[in-house]
Amino acid sequence: MNTHPLQASIERYFAAGAAAANDPAAHEAFLALRTALEAGEIRSASPDATAPTGWRVNAWVKQGILLGFRLGTLDAQASGSLSFVDKHTYPARYFTPDQGVRIVPGGSSVRAGAYLAKGVVCMPPMYVNVGAYIDEGTMVDSHALVGSCAQIGKRVHLSAAAQVGGVLEPINASPVVIEDDVMVGGNCGIYEGAIVRKGAVLASGTILTRGTPVYDLVHGTVIKATAETPLIIPENAVVVPGSRAVTRGKGQEWGLSLYAPVIVKYRDEKTDLSTTLEDLLR
C-alpha cells in the first residue's frame, strides 16, 4: 500500500497539538487535504480486499479532518440571504454545473471536505458532513443526513429522513459504509460503523447499530457485531423492522417485545422492479 504524500505532514501537525495553529505550513497541509477529499482522491475509509470487513480505515485522513477543526476559528459566513457562524476551515461547499452534481433549491448543505461524484442528486433539505464520500448516481433524498466520513457507494438511494451516522473519533473507528446499489428506506438509521453490502434493501424504519442483532430467517442465523468487526448486512439482503418476544421476568409477564431487524428474503428480480422508479426521478 503506497503512502500518500500528505500523510506524513498531516500526522506531524496533528501530533503537534495546539502549536500547529501558528504554523502556516499546517494550514497549507490541511487545505491540500480538504481539496483532495473534495476531489475524491483520498478517503477516510477505502475498499480493501485484504481487510476482514473489506474496508480499511485511513486514520491519518481523520486526523487531518480533526486538524481542520483545531486550526479553524469562528467566522461569519453567508450563502445568499442566509448567515452562519462556523469554523473558517469548513465553509459550505459550492458546486458548478460541470461537476455534474444536482442540488435542488430548498435548504440543502454540503460541508467543505465532502466528496460528491457526478450524477449525485440532492433533494432539499439534506446535509452532507465533512469527510463523507458519495459515489456516482446516488440520490440523497429530503431530510436525509450523511454523517462525517460515511462512505456511500454507487446508485444508492437514501430515502427521506434516512440517517447515516458519522464518526471522527476514535480515530481508528470504522465509519458507516453503504456499498453499491443499496436501497435505504425512509426513516432508516444506520449507525456505529455498520456495513451494508451491495444490493441490500432496508425497509422503511429499519435501525442498525453495533448492538443490534439481525435475524436472518432465510439461513436461520443471527448476525451480530463482534469485538473485531461491526454489524454487517449481507449482499442483497432484504431487511425489515421486526420484534422478538421478551421471554423472562417482567417483560414476559407484560407481554413485551423488543425491536429486531429481520432478513426476510434476498433480493431478486421482483425486488428490483420496485426500485426502477429511481431512474425516472433523475
Burial label for 24, CB within 10 Å (0-12, 13-18, 19+), is exposed
Angle, vertex CA 74, rays to CA 68 and CA 76, nearest 5: 120
pLDDT tier at 169, thresholds 50, 70, 90: confident
259 forms bridges with which residues in the sheet? 243
Helices (H) and strands (E) in the chain, counts: 6, 26
Contact 134, 115 (CB under 8 A): yes
pLDDT by residue (tens digit) across 61-118?
999 999 999 999 999 988 777 788 999 999 999 999 999 999 999 889 999 999 999 9
Give percent of the chain above pLDDT 70.
Answer: 95
Name the pTM for this structure: 0.93
Distance CA 212, CA 195 (A): 13
pLDDT tier at 278, thresholds 50, 70, 90: low
Q: Minimal CA–CA distance to 176: which of 243, 108, 231?
A: 231
237 forms bridges with which residues in the sheet? 266
Burial label for 138, CB within 10 Å (0-12, 13-18, 19+), is buried
Per-residue pLDDT at 199 exceeds 60: yes
Give the three cell numbers for residue 85.
457562524
pLDDT by residue (tens digit) across 13-70?
999 999 999 999 999 999 999 999 999 999 999 999 999 999 999 999 999 999 999 9
